[in-house]
C-alpha cells in the first residue's frame, strides 16, 4: 500500500546564465555560467525542484540516476539517495581538486544527488504542507537567514571580445556596478556600498587570490573604514603561503572578522596542518570550504583545531549532510556557514532551507545570487531584504518553476561551444599564456 505519492517523471535540464568578469585564483569568470536543474513530478501532480553545478559530466551522472528515482515514493527519499550514493556513478578524486582549487575540478567533489534530494524534499514538503527546513535535522530553527555581500575584483570585459552582458543602461545602480571594472580599493568600496543600498547587507566578504595579499588587505581596510560596523572577511582560496598569510593578517584584528582559507597544503603538510599553524600564529578566526569537504577531513580538522567555521555547502555535503555538519559543530562549540558558487534562485532556496534547519549561532550565509539577480528561473524567487532572507510561508521550497525561463536558459546552454567551466580562457586576454597556479594570485605573473 502506497503511503506517499510516487515519482512519475524525472527531468534533467542543463541551463546557462550571464556572469561578470569576476576574478578569482582560478582566473576570470566566463561570460556564461552553467547549472543543472532537476524537476521531479509525482503521482499527486506536484513538482519538486533541485539545482546543482553544470557541465556534461554532471548531466551524465544525473541521467544515470533516473532508474533509482522514478517509481519511488517521495517518503522513501533517504533510501533512494543512499542507493544513489552506493551506485558507483558519482565522480570522485582524492580531494586535491578542492584543496588546490582550480574550479574546473569542482565536478569531482560536487554531490549531484543533492539536486535530487532537494526535489524530493520539495515534493514531501508540499505533501505534508511543511517547509523543507521543517523536514531537515531537528526541524526549523529560525524564520530568516542572514546573508553576506560577496564582493569580487572585476576585470574590464572590454579587453576581450567575449559576450559579457552590458548593463550600463540599467536604472538599477547595483546592476550597473556589478558589470563594471573594479580593481582598485575605492572601486571595491563603491561595489560594497551599492550592494548594501540594494540588499541591506551588514556583512561582506572579498574574494581574494587576485593581487598580492598586501594589496588585497588595502581593500579590506578601505571597506572597514567606509563601513565601520560591518563584519569584513576575505577568501584568497589558499593562494598564500603560511608565511605570507601570517604577514598579511597578523595586524588585522578588529578589521577582519574571519579569514577563509588563507593558506593550504605546502612542504609536505596538509592544508589542515598549515591552517592550524596560521591560527596559532595569528589568533584570528578561520573559515574553510577547501580543507574540509567530507567527514574524514572534518574529523582530522577538528582534531587539529584547524578552523572555527566550516562552510558546509550542500553541493558538497547534501542538504541533510550539511545540516548534520551544523549539528556536530554546534555541539562542539564551532560555527556552521554555507559556501557558494554561481547559481540560480533554486539553489538559493536550497541554501536558505538548509541554513534555517541548522542549529546554533551560524555565520552569515554566502551567496553569489546578487551577481545573477534578475535571471530567476522561478516566478517567486526569494529576495534579500535588510541583509536577510525570510523563509516563505508556502510549503516545500516555497518557489514555483517558470518553464519559459528555464527553456530560454536551456537554449543559451545549447548555444555554448563548451559546457565545462574553464576560467583560464578569459585570462588569455589579460595575460597571454596564463595558466592556473594554486600559489600565485591570478594577476601576479
First to last CA, the chain: 65
Q: Domain range holding 302? A: 138-397
151: its cell numbers: 564582493
pLDDT at 1: 53
Same domain, 120 and 16: yes
Does residue 1 fall inside a structural domain? Answer: no
SS3 content of the chain, % helix, strand, coil (to 5): 40, 20, 45
Name the phi and psi angles at 350, rounded to 5.
Answer: -60, -45
Does residue 28 fall inside a structural domain? Answer: yes
Does residue 432 fall inside a structural domain? Answer: no
Same domain, 330 and 364: yes
Cα distance between residue 62 and residue 56, in whole Å: 10
Same domain, 159 and 177: yes
Residues in contact with 67: Cβ distance below 8 Å, sequence separation at least 6, in sequence order: none
DSSP character for 378?
B
Same domain, 391 and 379: yes
Same domain, 104 and 248: no
Cα distance between residue 198 and residue 387, in whole Å: 9
Name the phi and psi angles at 6, rounded to 5.
Answer: -110, 145
pLDDT at 110: 82
Cα distance between residue 99 and residue 86, in whole Å: 24
> How many structural domains compose the chain?
2
Instruction: CATH number of the domain at 34, please.
Output: 3.30.390.10
61: its cell numbers: 551522472
Cα distance between residue 215 and residue 218, in whole Å: 5
pLDDT at 209: 98
Same domain, 342 and 356: yes
Does residue 380 fall inside a structural domain? Answer: yes
Does residue 440 fall inside a structural domain? Answer: no
For the chain, 445 residues long, the average pLDDT of each consecutive 10-residue run is: 89 98 97 97 98 93 96 97 84 53 64 96 98 98 98 98 96 97 98 98 98 98 98 97 97 97 95 97 97 93 96 96 98 97 97 98 97 96 98 97 98 94 96 96 97
Same domain, 109 and 155: no
Same domain, 342 and 362: yes
- CA atoms in the 13 A half-sphere facing the CB of 257: 17
Cβ atoms of residues 184 and 151 within 8 Å: no
pLDDT at 116: 98
Instruction: CATH number of the domain at 152, please.
Output: 3.20.20.120
Same domain, 26 and 142: no
pLDDT at 316: 92
SS3 310: strand
Does residue 433 fall inside a structural domain? Answer: no
Per DSSP bridges, beta strands 7-18 and 32-42 are antiparallel
SS3 303: helix
Same domain, 245 and 388: yes
Same domain, 182 and 67: no
Q: Distances from the Cα of 278 to the Cαs of 37, 59, 318, 322, 353, in angstroms? A: 39, 39, 29, 26, 33
Same domain, 17 and 151: no
Does residue 193 fall inside a structural domain? Answer: yes
Tell me how far the alpha carbon of residue 244 is from its chain's centroid: 26
The residues assigned a catalytic role are: 207, 339
Does residue 299 fall inside a structural domain? Answer: yes
Which of left, alpha, beta for 395 (phi over 0: left; psi -120 to 50: alpha)? beta
Amino acid at each position: 500500500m502506497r503511503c506517499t505519492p510516487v515519482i512519475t517523471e524525472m527531468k534533467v535540464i542543463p541551463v546557462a546564465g550571464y556572469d561578470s568578469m569576476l576574478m578569482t585564483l582560478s582566473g576570470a569568470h566566463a561570460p556564461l555560467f552553467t547549472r543543472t536543474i532537476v524537476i521531479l513530478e509525482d503521482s499527486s501532480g506536484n513538482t519538486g525542484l533541485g539545482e546543482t553545478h553544470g557541465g556534461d559530466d554532471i548531466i551524465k551522472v544525473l541521467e544515470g540516476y533516473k532508474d533509482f528515482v522514478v517509481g519511488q515514493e517521495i517518503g522513501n527519499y533517504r533510501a533512494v539517495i543512499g542507493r544513489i550514493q552506493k551506485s558507483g556513478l558519482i565522480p570522485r578524486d582524492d580531494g586535491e581538486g578542492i584543496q588546490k582549487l582550480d574550479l574546473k575540478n569542482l565536478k569531482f567533489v560536487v554531490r549531484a544527488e543533492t539536486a535530487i534530494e532537494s526535489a524530493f524534499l520539495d515534493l514531501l514538503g508540499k505533501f505534508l504542507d511543511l517547509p523543507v527546513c521543517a523536514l531537515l535535522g531537528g526541524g526549523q530553527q529560525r524564520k530568516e537567514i542572514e546573508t553576506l555581500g560577496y564582493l569580487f575584483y572585476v576585470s574590464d570585459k572590454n579587453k576581450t571580445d567575449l559576450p559579457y552582458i552590458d548593463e550600463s543602461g540599467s536604472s538599477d545602480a547595483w546592476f550597473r556596478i556589478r558589470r563594471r571594472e573594479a580593481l582598485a580599493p575605492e572601486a571595491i568600496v563603491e561595489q560594497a556600498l551599492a550592494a548594501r543600498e540594494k540588499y541591506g547587507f551588514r556583512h561582506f566578504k572579498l574574494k581574494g587570490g587576485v593581487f598580492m595579499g598586501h594589496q588585497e588587505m588595502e581593500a579590506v581596510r578601505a571597506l572597514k573604514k567606509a563601513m565601520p560596523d560591518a563584519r569584513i572577511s576575505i577568501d584568497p582560496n589558499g593562494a598564500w603561503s603560511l608565511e605570507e598569510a601570517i604577514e598579511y593578517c597578523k595586524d588585522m584584528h578588529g578589521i577582519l572578522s574571519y579569514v577563509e582559507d588563507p593558506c593550504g597544503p605546502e612542504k609536505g603538510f596538509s592544508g589542515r596542518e598549515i591552517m592550524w599553524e596560521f591560527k596559532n600564529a595569528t589568533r584570528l578566526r578561520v573559515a574553510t570550504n577547501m580543507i574540509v569537504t567530507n567527514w574524514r577531513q572534518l574529523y582530522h580538522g577538528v582534531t587539529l583545531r584547524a578552523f572555527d567555521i566550516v562552510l558546509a555547502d550542500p553541493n558538497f555535503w547534501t542538504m541533510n549532510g550539511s545540516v548534520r555538519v551544523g549539528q556536530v559543530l554546534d555541539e562542539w562549540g564551532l560555527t556552521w556557514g554555507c559556501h557558494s558558487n554561481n547559481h540560480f534562485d533554486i539553489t538559493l532556496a536550497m541554501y536558505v532551507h538548509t541554513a534555517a534547519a541548522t542549529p546554533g549561532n551560524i555565520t552569515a550565509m554566502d551567496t553569489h545570487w546578487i551577481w545573477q539577480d534578475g535571471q530567476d528561473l522561478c516566478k517567486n524567487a526569494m529576495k534579500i531584504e535588510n541583509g536577510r532572507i525570510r523563509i516563505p510561508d508556502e510549503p516545500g521550497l516555497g518557489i514555483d518553476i517558470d518553464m519559459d525561463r528555464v527553456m530560454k536558459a536551456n537554449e543559451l546552454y545549447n548555444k555554448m561551444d563548451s559546457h565545462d567551466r574553464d576560467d583560464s580562457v578569459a585570462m588569455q586576454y589579460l595575460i597571454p599564456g596564463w595558466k592556473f597556479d594554486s600559489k600565485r594570485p591570478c594577476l601576479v605573473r
